[in-house]
Structure 1
Amino acid sequence: MRRISSPFFSTALFISVLFTSCNQATTSEKSQTDGSKKLVVGVTMLSMQNEFIVNVHDEMVKKAQETGIELLTVDAERSALKQVEQVESFIAQKVDAIIMNPCEVEASSPAVAKALAAKIPIINVNSETRSKPSAFVGSDDVESARIAMRYIADKLGGIGNVVMIHGYMGQAAQLKREQGAREILKQYPNLKLIANQTAEWDRAKAMSLMENWIQSFGPKINAVFAHNDEMGLGAVKALTDAGLKDKIIVVSIDAIPDALQAVKKGTLDATVFQNAEQQGAKAIETAIKAAKGQAYDKETLIPFQLVTKDNLDKFLK
């Protein structure tokens, strides 16, 4: 996941939201003139300052336009409390379905219970809650970390020291990626986890954290596993500045464009592809079926894939 704060991105996001709003207004007028009822889906996203999450949402917008439904999108800004309030607002507006990209496993759970109590289907996308929603669309985050850590184990021959940079603590992706990484580490007793800490999905925070670890451990570090690409790229920058990158393996998750370019340059050893387009599209498809009372899959898991220089061309656009 990637945090973006550049003026270019802010402008692009504003234009995207403006375009979506205009498109929805046009669709609404069309539905009123032909007498058909248009489905309205409320969407609450973890953070619209996060590139991967924005990519998921962009695909939702595209699918909504194709299917003629209206999306009401709000940004939870990483606040589970705000997210619960947003879902309460959707319930009050009597939307036909809700799609939630949960901020936290526990703290976002009341939103699920409230939606189900109001008999409104709620679909979790990309991340999970303790409370079971109507459906889940995403990927198995445990497996993504297994893939990353297996790659590290193979490259090091099962011997060496690893540091792990966590995502936002308490979020499903952070919990499950830690779980998957530790499962693989248990299989390699000579592969030691010498440090692990959160950088909250953020490149700058990961860079600072990596700088601290370089001061503490220096060349003792053999590999870095970052829970997402943004943090992986922050670690790469710190290692490069310290003249250590050529000696240390860095692997992360998501396969965002910057990460793919880093793999191409050889600065990032590998990333694990997570399919934002399929997650967004499948979430909309599931919400439509649930709102219409049609049969739908209660769980849709989209596979992760390891990306290295060997298969990079398949993922570059």
Structure 2
Amino acid sequence: MMYKKISTAISFAMTLTLLPAALATGSGAAAADEPLKVSWILSKAAAQADHRALDGFNSYIKENNLNWTVDVSDGKGSPATAAELLENAVQRGSSVIILSMVDMRASQASLDSASAAKIPVFTIDAGWTPGVVVDITANNFAMGAIINAYMADRLGGKGGVIAFKENSHHGVRKRGKEFDVVMGEAPGIKVLADHQIDVTNFYADSKNAMEDFITRFGDEVNGVFAGWDEPAMAAADAIKEAGLKNAFVVGIDGNTAAMKYIRDGGPFVATVAQPFEKMGSQTGQYISDIVVNGKDPDTVIPVKQVYLPTCLITAQNVPPEGELPWKACE
């Protein structure tokens, strides 16, 4: 998640005739000469993962010359704000609503409103919630197991580690649980501390916490797990500035800045790259099939939560600048 400023409402449109079809949800036909009004709710405007998924969705629209208009709003890291934006999208008469990386636990009433209005809701890496057509994500249990097993193996089964966790997002919560599982099977590794990240100020909070841990534990710190790449970068910056030589950091997401950290050979040594662009384009395909072409969701979607493949990135396979990280494993 890079620090990219956007306005809290962005609109864009591209044109082509849509195939006439009844909406699978029963909300009526998407007429050939009418645009599809898509409302997209970001978890947080500063989050690169949200923007990468949105980029994939935008590319799908452009490549297929679709007459879809997308309005983007910022959940600001707040479940309550996201729920309010979801309700607003329902009241505006959106054709489709998409939420990316949002904590959905405050949104059930708004989802019920969308269902009552027969507006289909899709989510990306938000965890499936009743009322959502499908959640497209990667397997967060698997990613947590892969990156933490890598950390334990790199340590040779011994040393001191710190975890940066965050429990409001389903995926990061699951990754943190896998840290506990892996370290529980590594008796030679000592968990020095773990920290709950303040998602509203994740970089500064993580860096401040890492600086405190360095003061407390010094050279006892050998490995650091962070639930996603930005806190990992913050921890790596603190380690580098403190001059620790035997500590490394791992993360999850495979964001652009993380690739540079790994290429540069600093403390940030590995991440699991998620195909956020593909999540966005796959959402577009599902909308075309279900909302536009009127296909039965049960014949289009295999399960309510669809997992896309990921890729462990280290110095050995980090892609050059400009290449999508997750493609390193294709």
Assess if the C-alpha contact under 8 Å between 1:60 and 1:281 holds in 2: yes
Q: CA deviation at 1:214?
A: 0.7
- Aligned pair in 2 of structure 1 residues 178, 108: CA closer, same or farther (>3 Å)? farther
What does residue 41 of structure 1 align with?
38
Q: Give the letter aligned to residue 256 of structure 2.
A: P
Separation (CA, whole Å) in 1 of partners of 2:60 and 2:189: 44
Distance 1:158 1:235 in 2: 21
Aligned residue type for 2:139? D
Q: Which runs of 5+ in 2 are unaligned?
A: 20-30, 324-330
* Native 8 Å contact 1:138 1:300 kept in 2: yes
Tell me what 1:216 maps to. 216
Q: CA RMSD in A?
A: 2.6
Structure 1 or 2: larger helix share?
1
The answer on whether the counterparts of 2:44 and 2:74 sit within 8 Å (CA) in structure 1 is yes
Is the aligned partner of 1:163 residue 2:166? no
Distance in 2 (CA, whole Å) between partners of 1:124 and 1:286 is 11
Kept in 2, the 8 Å contact 1:83–1:111? The answer is no
Q: Deviations over 1:239-292 (max 9, x none)?
A: 111110x30121111111211111112111111111111011112222232313
Question: After the TM superposition, which residues 9-20 of structure 1 pair with which residues of structure 2 at under 5 Å, given as runs?
Answer: 9-10=4-5, 13=6
1:130: how far off?
4.5
Q: Which runs of 5+ in 1 are unaligned?
A: none
Deviation by residue 1:18-71 (Cα, 9 ceiling, x = unmatched):
6xx3x41x639999xx96232222211111121221121122222223341221
Asked if structure 1 preserves the Cα contact closer than 8 Å seen for 2:272 and 2:311, the reply is yes
Aligned equivalents of 1:17 and 1:29: distance in 2?
A: 25
Q: Is contact 2:137–2:308 with CA below 8 Å preserved after alignment? A: yes
Question: So what's the TM-score if we normalise by structure 1?
Answer: 0.86
Q: Distance in 1 between matches of 2:196 and 2:107?
A: 20
Confirm or deny that 1:184 pairs with 2:173. Answer: no
* Secondary structure at the counterpart of residue 98 of structure 1: strand
What's the counterpart of residue 92 of structure 2?
Answer: 93
* Match for residue 309 of structure 2 among 285, 296, 303: 303
Using structure 2 for the length normalisation, give the TM-score: 0.83
Counterpart CA distance in 2 for 1:105 and 1:70 is 24
What aligned pairs does 1:43-192 form with structure 2 within 5 A after superposition? 43-67=40-64, 68=66, 69-128=68-127, 130-131=129-130, 133-167=132-166, 169-192=167-190
1:238 aligns with 2:238: yes
Q: Retained in 2: the 8 A contact 1:161–1:192?
A: yes
Change (3 A) 1:30 1:171: closer
Asked whether the equivalents of residues 139 and 301 of structure 1 are also in contact (C-alpha less than 8 Å), the reply is: yes
SS at match of 1:222: strand
Secondary structure at the residue paired with 2:210?
A: helix
Q: Hey, what's the Cα distance between the residues in 1 that align with 2:75 and 2:127? A: 15
Q: Is the 8 A contact 2:9 2:72 kept in 1?
A: no
